[in-house]
Chain A
Amino acid sequence: MITISEELNTTKPSTEIAGATVRLAGDSGDGMQLLGTQLTNTSALSGNDVATFPDFPAEIRAPRGTRAGVSGFQVQFASEEIFTPGDGLDALIAMNPAALLTNVQDLKESGILIVDEDSFAAKDLKLAKTDVNPLDDESLSKYRLIKVPVTSLTRTAVAELGMSQKHADRCRNFFAMGLVFWLYGRDLTPTLRFIDEKFGKKPEVADANVRALKAGWNYGETTEALATSFHVNPAKLTPGTYKNIMGNQALVYGLVAASKLSGKDLFLGSYPITPASDILHELSKYKHFGVRTFQAEDEIAAVCSAIGASFGGSMAITTSSGPGIALKAEGIGLGIMMELPMLIIDVQRGGPSTGLPTKTEQSDLLQVLYGRNGESPIPVIAARSPADCFDVAHEAWRVATRLMTPVFILSDGFIANGSEPWKIPTEDELQPIEISHPAGTTDGAEFLPYQRDELLARPWALPGTEGLTHRLGGLEKEDITGNVSYDPDNHQHMTHVRAQKVENATELIGDQVVNGPTNGDLLVLSWGGTFGACATAVQQCQARGHSVAHTHLRWLNPFPKNLGKILSNYKKILIPELNTGQLRMLIRSKFLVDAEGFNKIKGKPFGIAELVEQIERQLTT
């Protein structure tokens, strides 16, 4: 049995700090993601604002000890509102030479560097492809290097249990966790509860992890290398109940909520792909909410099954990432032609082709807008942060059902696996989504499946309804009747109708909002997962007295009605993107403005500092 409640109080002095950015780096088998998640949750529970960025290799077990196998987890926790996982690191925990060498350049000068000195033997250095031991030369002299024999101390801590060395070494991450928890004054209770839940059925493993955790904490308390610990006060967040949430999880909650609020059972057709698979895993747990998940034979079957479910009247969803979206293109075109509501979720990753499966990028924007044959317009909404995914799911389904159209949701690997506190909405804040279906009839009148309402939406008539039998298909439809038509004028008319219908989403999505002066020298225009970095960078520039504003696009198609007017109010427009300038191309062509880009295609999110530098460069040239 584990004693869950553990009141450990340090006797050393504690320094109050506004926040810290910490990165945990080790081998992909070292349990760094687990360590990071625990630190994040505990920080969040203590009231800090948090933002995380897990960064791991595509391989499940890349060769041990190599640079390719390094798995990292970055978290920023703070006593004020933050929007990103932080730029420069205040502390780095490196479990081996490869982790040290691939991460230390991000550590601030005088930053805390904790290394497992037991893992710097000749063979470890060889695996990391370095001839010299960085602990022995002067290369780390600008950091606060703290060499801790993590491996041997962990083995000592669990020695009484008589475990094999291999099993004992699996507790190394809990030792490191204990030390980090001491350093930032974290409560061990949530982690002890986690260990009990996760390993309760294997008491020996649970016991070993607890011993390692406490040994790590005690090491911090006794080592002379650390004179003070740190303390971060709770952040002043909007009152409410919060939980720390990852993007994919928030998306799942949002989808289930939209399903409930629209009175529609949810059907997901999906094929496993990084980084979208967790949506399939999570949704499959919620069968008691009427959720049906179908792991299809391929991406094409996934989207087609969703369309079939939509035809039957379900809330239909398909999820994927860039390569899978490419395969779904023809099916999405059919959804557009048949004008059935559906959500297509693209959790973007580095491309092209297989690209960088576990790294983030914003390079699917043009694919989702234009990657189909023919004129095939589709509304596109992009989440800006992990918690925002909840609201995006609701809004996308509202538009899809109101206009009878597939809608794309764009997320990315950074949002999907990153986390932040989410204020759980109250019941009153959850808006119902009204959906109606035409009722059955026995009067023998011809049913007109392509007759439209004021926003050009057609009726959603469900199989099983008497008197409304009709046939849908991919061939061009005759206006109103929906019969097959090859008439040239009809085709032109229908092409315009489909485009206008999507444009009518502007009636449903509200106006674009600007943060900062309503006119001035520079407008930073961003979309998707770069929100946090862009918002923070603009705030810093505003604090320095620059005439700069920020606006963040939620809908990429259609653009809000007032966007053109906003763009005309600034001397310069800067569009930072994690691609070569896809939104910039759209903005330039639609509004004929000379927007500049700041583009990074490294599989990594923007840092705040590089954005600030870019903004200031724009302002001075």
Chain B
Amino acid sequence: MSSTLNVLKPTDFASDQDIRWCPGCGDYSILAQMKKMLPSLGFSREETVFISGIGCSSRFPYYMNTYGMHSIHGRAPAFATGLKSTRPELQVWVITGDGDGLSIGGNHLMHCIRRNLDVNIVMFNNSIYGLTKGQYSPTSPLGHVTKSTPRGSIDNPLSPCTVAISSEATFVARSIDFNTKHLGETLKRAAQHRGVSFVEVNQNCNVFNDGVWSHMTDKETKEDNVLVLEHGKPMIFGKNRDKGIRLNGLDPEVVSLEQIGEDDLLFHDETIESPMLAMLLSRMKFPEFPVPIGVFRNISAPMYDQSLNEQVADARQEKGEGDLMELLHSGDTWTVE
């Protein structure tokens, strides 16, 4: 690592390219928090790589003064797999969106996550296709009226965090574009996790899906509609912190703290091996429930890139560095004089 790390500033991570997102887009906030957070990680610019697919979010690498790749639609995790497997010392970020990552690229996302590749995946979820000008996405709610669904969407939506947990993700978190402090902290925790990190960022598209997350961002309603997850703490929310989440059988329920004591609430534990708590939280949806943000799951497991390189090291240890002439002469040979 470079010896000049401690002097890197957020502006050092800014490239000289003009940013072409629409004015007011939530992507600006994510970019700002990323630049602000990166200097704290101990990686130099040149040790950092951003890889994206296609879509509004995927323009992200152009705006970072790091190494980067703006690849093809949905495939960013696959490019990241090749890079990280061969250059495990690099810090690799995958930037994707709800269409890029869950629709055309769903397969790669699932497999990258289940392999526990040591990369950080950030999914900008605005529940719409922005760059193609407003078709519904895999996270758009039923009934959503868009250019391609004039009578409302009939596709059952996916929850990105549920997909990640189902794919055995070892780190899963959710944050919100305009909750800048929470977003910065969440990105940092994702970066610090060893193994795959999946972060869903609820992001506003002010042109094609304005206000999609307003229940989580409007001053008047956000505290009643957002549950901030904190490891080891009871699940309490509300403007007056007077509501909580309790387990009733296998289902969560909202209870009033006037009737139920804190000790009877669900306590958050990121680190339990079983994915059931994280799964349950990922399925809590507005308006029945407050939407959880923060770290759902944070466990440790073998990493694909590390295991692959260990196999190479072990083979070299056992057999010695491969000898080409020995290889070419292996098996039955004969000599013509």
Residues of A within 8 A of B (CB): 41, 44-45, 47, 190, 234, 236-244, 253, 256-257, 260, 265, 267, 269, 286-292, 294, 296-298, 300-302, 304-314, 316, 330-331, 334, 338, 424-425, 427, 430, 440, 463-475, 483-484
Contacts and interface: CB of A to CB of B under 8 A. Distances in A.
B72 A331 contact: yes
25 contacts: A44-B334, A239-B337, A240-B335, A241-B329, A242-B336, A244-B332, A253-B328, A290-B312, A294-B81, A297-B108, A297-B110, A300-B78, A304-B72, A305-B81, A308-B51, A309-B86, A311-B67, A312-B82, A313-B87, A424-B329, A427-B325, A463-B49, A463-B87, A467-B46, A475-B70
Contacts of A305: 78-79, 81-82, 85
B218 interface: no
A463 B47 CA distance: 6
Interface string B236-258: 00000000000000000000000
Given A47-B334, A464-B46, A469-B46, A308 B315 contact: no
A473 B61 contact: yes
Contacts of B93: none
Contact of A484 (B45, B62, B311, B332): B62
B132 interface: no
Given A294-B82, A296-B81, A474-B71, 19 more contacts: A234-B336, A240-B336, A241-B329, A243-B329, A257-B324, A287-B312, A287-B316, A288-B320, A288-B322, A297-B107, A301-B81, A301-B108, A305-B79, A309-B82, A312-B86, A334-B72, A468-B46, A469-B46, A471-B69
A314 to B, nearest CB: 5
Contacts of A242: 333-336
Given A242-B336, A288-B320, A316 B82 contact: yes
B327 interface: yes
A334 B322 contact: no
Contacts of A311: 67, 69, 79, 82-83
Nearest to A423: B336
Contacts of B69: 308, 311, 338, 471-473
A379 to B, nearest CB: 21
A306 to B, nearest CB: 6
A288 B321 contact: yes
Contacts of A300: 75, 78, 108
Contact of A473 (B47, B70, B334): B70
Interface in B295-311: 308-309, 311
Contact of A307 (B68, B79, B329): B79
A269 B308 CA distance: 13
Report the contact-size class of chain B (Cβ under 8 Å from the partner): 35 or more
Instruction: Name which of B72, B78, B322, B337 has the most chain A CB atoms within 10 A of its CB.
Output: B78
Nearest to B312: A287
Contacts of B107: 297-298, 301
A242 B333 CA distance: 5
Interface string B28-68: 00000000000000001111010100100000011011111
B77 to A, nearest CB: 8
B2 interface: yes
Q: Which 5 A-B pairs have the closest CB atoms?
A: A308-B82, A473-B70, A289-B322, A305-B82, A304-B78
Contacts of B325: 427
Contacts of B329: 241, 243, 424
A48 B157 CA distance: 66
Contacts of A301: 75, 77-78, 81, 107-108, 111
A457 B336 CA distance: 43
Contacts of A472: 68-70
A288 B320 CA distance: 7
Contacts of A464: 46-47, 67, 87, 89-90
Given A41-B332, A241-B333, A242-B334, A308 B44 contact: no
Nearest to A41: B332
B87 A469 contact: no
B151 interface: no
B169 to A, nearest CB: 16
Contacts of B70: 471-475
Nearest to A446: B16
Nearest to A252: B327
Contacts of B89: 464
Interface of B: 2, 15, 17, 44-47, 49, 51, 54, 61-62, 64-72, 75, 77-87, 89-90, 107-108, 110-111, 308-309, 311-312, 314-316, 318-322, 324-325, 327-329, 331-337
Nearest to B81: A305
Contact of B15 (A190, A294, A471, A475): A471
A474 B54 CA distance: 9
Contacts of B318: 288
A510 B49 CA distance: 39
A341 to B, nearest CB: 13
A41 B314 CA distance: 33
Contacts of B46: 440, 463-469
A256 B108 contact: no
Nearest to B65: A469
Instruction: Name which of B87, B316, B336 has the most chain A CB atoms within 10 A of its CB.
Output: B336
Contact of B322 (A244, A286, A475, A483): A286
B74 to A, nearest CB: 8
Instruction: Name which of B61, B309, B315 has the most chain A CB atoms within 10 A of its CB.
Output: B315
Given A47-B334, A307-B79, A469-B66, A267 B328 contact: no
Instruction: Name which of A47, A310, A471 has the most chain B CB atoms within 10 A of its CB.
Output: A471
Contacts of A47: 334, 336
A448 B36 CA distance: 27
Contact of B83 (A298, A309, A466, A475): A309
Contact of A241 (B61, B80, B334): B334
Contacts of A289: 321-322, 324, 327
Nearest to A193: B332
A256 B322 CA distance: 10
A62 to B, nearest CB: 30
Instruction: Name which of A291, A304, A307, A310 has the most chain B CB atoms within 10 A of its CB.
Output: A304
Contacts of B337: 239
Contact of A256 (B72, B75, B327): B327
A466 B64 CA distance: 15
Contacts of B314: 287
Nearest to A249: B331
Instruction: Name which of B44, B66, B327 has the most chain A CB atoms within 10 A of its CB.
Output: B327
A473 B85 contact: no
Instruction: Name which of B87, B327, B334 has the most chain A CB atoms within 10 A of its CB.
Output: B334
A484 B83 CA distance: 23
Given A241-B334, A316-B82, A424-B329, A471 B108 contact: no
Contacts of A237: 336
B163 to A, nearest CB: 15
A338 B333 CA distance: 43
A257 B335 contact: no
A472 B66 CA distance: 11
Contacts of B322: 256, 260, 286, 288-290
B86 A314 contact: yes
A269 B75 contact: no
A522 B46 CA distance: 59
A190 B328 contact: no
A308 B51 CA distance: 9
Contact of A267 (B54, B86, B327): B86
B164 to A, nearest CB: 16
B333 A424 contact: yes
B52 to A, nearest CB: 8
A253 B319 CA distance: 18
B86 A265 contact: yes
B16 to A, nearest CB: 8
Contact of B324 (A243, A294, A430, A483): A430
A12 B46 CA distance: 77
Contacts of A471: 15, 61-62, 64, 67-70
